[in-house]
Amino acid sequence: MAKTTEKKRAVKFKAGRASNGTGPDEVLEGYERIDKFEPQGLERISAHYADILEAIGEDPKREGLKRTPERMAKSLQYLTHGYDLDPAAILRKALFKEDYSQMVLVKDIEVYSLCEHHLLPFFGKAHVAYIPNGCITGLSKIPRVVDAFARRLQVQERLTNEIRDCIHDTLKPLGVAVVIEAAHLCMQMRGIQKQNSVTTTSAFTGIFLDDHRTREEFIKLIASKLH
């Protein structure tokens, strides 16, 4: 089991740095975030990271690296916590009958994932649309589904298809469209080292495949700046 996040009601808490002149001091109404990590997994991963530090010639006991294996283990558990999430269940939590049959588009969704080949990040934006067939889902559920699949070891091509298939199979819409644009550090900071390269993937179902006008409308909308 990977890292989970609980949220509890808090009367007030401070966001940002302490009020000592080093950053903003903002009092907010909201939630208190409590991060929890799976202890046995954390211990195992930390031990392996300590071995890796030694293997590259570092001293994991020196001051700057004493807690690095634990930090890396927590980071990895967070970056892969999508394995503990059920994307279809996320959509089903907010299903509503609605007589709306035009395009619903959520675009510019931030995507952060790990390439499964080198365990280096790839990141960018996802654009997700669907055309309801008597049923809609809460708008926030679309980015949550994107995150649930992205927070795993991934390749961009599979990530695109998994988002499409989950929405199509759960909502039973008239069609689904997904486009992801991402930069891959495995191409930018190593290997071919092409820093300006961007990879675009797309996946469609239903009316987005069968009707070129609907597909063109989607492409036009994700390329436009309406806000």
Q: What is the pLDDT of residue 66?
A: 96
Domain 87-223 has CATH 3.40.228.10: no
Q: What is the pLDDT of residue 29?
A: 64
With beta carbons less than 8 A apart as the criterion, state whether 14 and 27 touch: yes
For the chain, which residues make up each domain, given as ranges?
4-79, 87-223
Distance CA 85, CA 91 (A): 12
DSSP 190: S
For residue 205, give the nearest of 143, 128, 135 by alpha carbon: 128
For residue 144, give the nearest of 166, 124, 123 by alpha carbon: 166
Would strands 121-131 and 175-184 be described as parallel, antiparallel, or unpaired?
A: antiparallel
Mean pLDDT of 49-53: 97
- Classified by CATH at the fold level, domain 4-79 comes out as GTP Cyclohydrolase I; Chain A, domain 1 (1.10.286)
Q: What is the pLDDT of residue 35?
A: 75
Distance CA 87, CA 89 (A): 5
Distance CA 69, CA 64 (A): 11
More confident site: 73 or 36 = 73
With beta carbons less than 8 A apart as the criterion, state whether 109 and 146 touch: yes
Q: What is the mean pLDDT of the chain?
A: 89
Question: pLDDT band for position 159 (50/70/90)?
Answer: very high
Lowest mean pLDDT among 25-39, 62-76, 103-117, 138-152: 25-39
Q: What is the pTM of this model?
A: 0.84
Mean pLDDT of 108-133: 98
Residues designated catalytic: 115-118, 156, 184, 186
